[in-house]
Amino acid sequence: MTRPDFPLPKGFLWQYEWIQWLQAHSNPWLDSIAKGLSLLGNEQFYLLAIPIVFWSVHRKLGLRLGYIFLFGMWLNSWLKVLIGIVRPIGIPGIQSAKVASATGYSMPSGHAQGTMTFWMLLSSLLKRRIALWIGMILVLLVGWSRIVLGLHWPLDVMVGWGIGLLVASLGWALGGWWTYRQFSFSSRAYLAVVLPLLMLALHTTPTGKEYAVFLLSLGLGALFEEHFLHTEIEDGWWRRIFSSVIGIAGLIAIQWGMKRWGSTEEVLLVRDAAIGLFATVVAPWLFLKCGLYRREGSHPHHAGK
């Protein structure tokens, strides 16, 4: 490990040396593991994991999970632009892997914040200590992967963990309070539109717009489903599995179909809106037609029937 022969901003020398130390003790096998772990923090993972919770585990809590997570990632994107710290990519003495997710500014780490938020929320939803322990191990490993791959400064990861924990804790508490108050349908519809519009006004980068559109379509879709469909998860584990399989196939079809239109900002926003509406309205309607869901209040089928 060598000290740099070029100036580093105050507070970055120890981070530079930390990255060098980790990379000095790495090897191709560990690098492959790090790249695999880093995938757990990509949006593709959450794009599958959160809908599965919503479709097959618990509808209301799954929706709360999606809302808190998406708002947290919008906050992460806004903070990155506000703070404006560049990644360690290209710094002499640091080897940075070529990973598609390594774009934009560095602080706070979206992977670190996202994994902390998701697993804290999931453990709160499942109320299982094992889920918390598994989640914390994955949080640490994903954070390690971002540093050892030379994609983030150590402080990026630490701050990301802190913000992720704060977002998860406050978001879950606020969500519980919101559910307890049972606001009227019109009030919820108003906030489902106003909050994303405020987010659009405050953060106008392409990434900020995507998260805001996701939230808008998610909120409106959930309200539309509640008002017109009134579905709920049917009993039976096999129905829950088939719901997720059909839903994931739909998400893949949307993404595959939208790729044919290109990757302009407008196309991506349409794709995000389509995914949000499919997850909250179209998929539950399909599940209802397939006998995987039932109308709220209807007589449930016996499990295994």
Do 78 and 189 lie in a common domain? no
> How much is the average pLDDT of 206-211?
92
144 and 256 both lie in a single domain:
no
pLDDT of 4: 64
Considering the domain architecture, whether residues 205 and 108 belong to the same structural domain is answered as no
User: Do residues 33 and 141 share a domain?
Assistant: yes
What pTM value is reported for the model? 0.89
Token pair, residue 256, equals 């595959």
Pair 62, 108 in one domain:
yes
pLDDT in tens, 160-174: 999 999 999 999 998
Q: What is the DSSP string of 53-79?
A: HHHHT-HHHHHHHHHHHHHHHHHHHHH
Beta-carbon count within 10 A of 290 CB = 13
Task: For residues 167 and 188, state if they share a domain.
Answer: no
- pLDDT over 70, % of the chain: 93
Does 254 lie in the same domain as 275? yes
Domain that holds residue 294: 184-305
Q: Average pLDDT of the chain?
A: 88
Same domain membership, residue 166 and residue 208: no
Same domain, yes or no, for 136 and 232?
Answer: no
Lowest mean pLDDT among 8-12, 103-107, 178-182: 178-182
- Shared-domain flag, residues 117 and 138: yes
Residue 77 domain-assigned?
Answer: yes
- What are phi and psi for residue 232, nearest 5 degrees? -150, 165
Number of domains the chain contains:
2
Task: Specify if 159 maps to a domain.
Answer: yes
Could you tell me if 137 and 211 lie in one domain?
A: no
Q: Write out pLDDT tens, residues 252-291.
A: 999 998 888 888 889 999 999 999 999 999 999 999 999 9
R_g of the chain, CA atoms, integer Å: 21
Final residue of a structural domain among 162, 182, 202: 182
4 occurs within a structural domain: no
Residue 11 lies in a domain: no
Domain match, 191 and 78 both: no
Say how many CA atoms lie within 13 Å of 259 toward its Cβ. 6
